[in-house]
């Protein structure tokens, strides 16, 4: 059994890691940290996590935890993750960081969007962007993975085959996403209280969301040219899931069916992408609690535009499920281990 440890386990991504790992036959969770909830039991915060009835939150002190595990999941807030990741990685451990701190390769871009300096540039250079459908080989060889953001996961997987196959004009990409409330994290902020968001729907962080440079970085790598996108997130009154609707002008006449063939070929052999048939589009309800990314698309002939729609669970494929997928790849397990659950319906 591989020992794994979770730094920052009192949020929803920490809870989701514990849920998924409870079903993993080859690992055991040896500890979990939380500054605010240190001393409390995991089950006190999350009554659903019954298999962890003896697990108690402890404060994050590297010297106390470093010998407890071979693999560390870091689910700390942005900026706070930098040093902890560096310290633990420096001591030879395998690290999967769910924060944004090691995702952006260009330090200036990171510092511009996040407003804090990056103090660990040499460690940053060793991080692999943890989107397995694109970086599978590098992840298998890595000891530090920067787990993608929730919005970027759905956006990049939606655009990857189109860009790789040069189907669209890269100056015309519009990414319009909607997230459930859990995207805001486990927070006492009144803006996410039931009465404020129920029966509501709105855009937020219009033109300013921090996942924008992450999406642009990865799309630019795929397209081998500098890409800027319009990215607008919305907040909807459901708990889990992100639906992303992407628009891009086609460079030539091509049918929906042919593009679907390209997508299916591009993702053949992948366990967690599901390209839907013509006329069928994703629903976040279909991927709840799963590591799947559903993809549907259509060509608008009248406007020569490709419209791609993807659905992921922001806490699973958009965070903790993908982190476990990365761990599986890094440790040489079957990629789907502990990730093959069927979604609840309803």
Whether 195 is a known active-site residue: answer no
Question: Closer CB to a second copy, residue 63 or residue 199?
Answer: 199
**Is residue 195 close enough to count as binding a second copy by CB under 8 A?**
yes
**Is residue 24 close enough to count as binding a second copy by CB under 8 A?**
no
Burial of 112 (0-12, 13-18, 19+ CB in 10 A): exposed
Instruction: Select which of 7, 15, 150, 293 is catalytic.
Output: 150
Instruction: Enumerate residues 37-76 that contact a second copy by CB under 8 A.
Output: 46-51
- Least spacing, CB of residue 117 vs a second copy, in Å: 22
| 174: three-class secondary structure by DSSP | strand
Question: Closer CB to a second copy, residue 141 or residue 342?
Answer: 342
Residue for token pair 């997928």:
325
Phi/psi of residue 266, nearest 5 degrees:
-60, -35
Find the part of the chain contacting a second copy (CB under 8 A) among 83-91, 98-106, 151-159, 304-312. Answer: 304-312
Measured distance CA(51)–CA(55) in Å, rounded: 9
Cis peptide before 36 (omega within 30 of 0): no
- Least spacing, CB of residue 178 vs a second copy, in Å: 6
**Is residue 254 close enough to count as binding a second copy by CB under 8 A?**
no
**Is residue 90 close enough to count as binding a second copy by CB under 8 A?**
no
Q: How far is CA 282 from the centre of its chain?
A: 18
**Is residue 318 close enough to count as binding a second copy by CB under 8 A?**
no
Q: How many CB atoms lie within 10 A of CB 125?
A: 11
- Least spacing, CB of residue 128 vs a second copy, in Å: 27
**Is residue 203 close enough to count as binding a second copy by CB under 8 A?**
yes
**Is residue 345 close enough to count as binding a second copy by CB under 8 A?**
yes
Within 8 A by CB and 6+ apart from 117, the residues are 111
- Least spacing, CB of residue 268 vs a second copy, in Å: 15
CB–CB of 74/47 below 8 Å? no
Q: How many residues bind a second copy (CB under 8 A)?
A: 81
Instruction: Measure Cα distances from 190 to 11, 196, 204, 238 in Å.
Output: 17, 7, 16, 16
**Is residue 150 close enough to count as binding a second copy by CB under 8 A?**
no
Q: How many CB atoms lie within 10 A of CB 172?
A: 15
**Is residue 264 close enough to count as binding a second copy by CB under 8 A?**
no
Q: Applying CB under 8 A, which of residues 56, 70, 192, 270 lies at the interface with a second copy?
A: 192
Within 8 A by CB and 6+ apart from 125, the residues are none
- Least spacing, CB of residue 343 vs a second copy, in Å: 4
**Is residue 299 close enough to count as binding a second copy by CB under 8 A?**
yes
Active-site residue list:
150
């Amino acid at each position: 059994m591989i020992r794994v440890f979770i730094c920052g386990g009192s949020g929803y991504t920490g809870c989701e890691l514990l849920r998924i790992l409870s079903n993993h036959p080859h690992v055991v969770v040896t500890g979990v940290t939380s500054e605010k909830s240190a001393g409390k039991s995991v089950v006190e915060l999350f009554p659903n996590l019954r298999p962890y009835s003896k697990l108690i939150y402890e404060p994050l002190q590297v010297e106390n935890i470093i010998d407890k595990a071979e693999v560390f999941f870091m689910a700390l807030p942005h900026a706070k993750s930098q040093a902890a990741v560096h310290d633990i990685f420096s001591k030879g451990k395998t690290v999967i960081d769910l924060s944004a701190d090691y995702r952006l390769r260009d330090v200036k871009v990171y510092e511009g969007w996040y407003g804090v300096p990056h103090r660990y540039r040499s460690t940053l250079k060793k991080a692999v962007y943890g989107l397995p459908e694109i970086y599978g080989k590098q992840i298998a060889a890595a000891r530090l993975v920067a787990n993608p953001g929730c919005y970027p996961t759905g956006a990049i997987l939606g655009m990857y085959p189109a860009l790789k196959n040069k189907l669209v004009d890269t100056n015309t990409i519009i990414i319009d996403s909607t997230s459930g409330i859990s995207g805001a994290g486990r927070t006492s902020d009144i803006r996410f209280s039931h009465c404020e968001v129920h029966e509501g729907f709105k855009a937020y962080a219009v033109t300013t969301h921090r996942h924008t440079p992450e999406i642009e970085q990865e799309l630019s790598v795929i397209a081998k040219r500098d890409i800027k996108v319009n990215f607008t997130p919305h907040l909807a009154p459901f708990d889990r899931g992100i639906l992303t609707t992407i628009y891009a002008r086609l460079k030539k006449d091509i049918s929906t069916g042919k593009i679907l063939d390209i997508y299916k070929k591009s993702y053949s052999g992948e366990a967690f992408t599901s390209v839907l048939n013509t006329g069928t589009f994703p629903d976040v309800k279909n991927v709840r609690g799963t590591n799947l990314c559903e993809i549907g698309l259509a060509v608008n002939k009248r406007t020569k535009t490709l419209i791609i729609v993807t659905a992921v669970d922001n806490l699973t494929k958009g965070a903790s499920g993908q982190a476990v997928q990365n761990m599986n790849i890094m440790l040489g397990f079957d990629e789907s281990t502990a990730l093959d659950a069927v979604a609840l319906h309803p």
